[in-house]
Copies of this chain bind each other. A is one copy, B any other.
Amino acid sequence: MDAIDRAIIDLLRQNARAPFGELGSRVGLSASAVKRRVDRLTAAGVIRAFTVQVDPRLEGLGTEAYIELFCRGTVAPADLRRILSAEPAVVYAATVTGDADALVHIRSRDIESLEEALERVRSAPSVDHTRSAIVLSRLVNRDAG
């Protein structure tokens, strides 16, 4: 992971389909040298995957919310993972410092389906209560989505 690797990753983030030759001309290497670095970064897991960024609104997932999860007593992270993985609307979840046990990011079609997803999460026996913040408008979105 040197400066050239970082430069290549930055360029790939902007356009994962950029030809190796063009990447090479920008970082001062030949196409095959760039390919070898990209292969190495992919094998090492630094580059996890080549994906597409989809506009959630146009895909029919325009409604999102962040939910703080409060559990009864002590719940193992593994249990939380099991509960939250079962709900397809859950895009992201993590245990956090502070009052809440976990922070959950939910995405769905509309408010109704958001409420349904929330209700399914709340119905888990270890979940005591939740506190929701529905997203009104996005201000910043650096990795997009």
Contacts and interface: CB of A to CB of B under 8 A. Distances in A.
Interface of A: 1, 6, 9, 12-17, 44-55, 58-60, 64-66, 68, 77, 80-81, 84-85, 90-98, 100, 102-104, 131-145
Contact of A93 (B48, B104, B140): B140
| Closest 9 A/B residue pairs (Cβ) | A96-B133, A16-B50, A93-B140, A48-B53, A93-B139, A81-B139, A95-B136, A98-B133, A46-B58
Interface residue SS majority, chain A? strand
Interface centre among A58, A139, A141 (most CB of B within 10 A): A139
B137 A77 contact: yes
| Total copies of the chain | 2
Given A1-B59, A85-B140, A96-B134, 14 more contacts: A14-B49, A14-B51, A47-B55, A50-B50, A51-B51, A51-B144, A68-B133, A92-B141, A93-B140, A93-B141, A94-B135, A94-B139, A95-B139, A98-B132
A95 B135 contact: yes
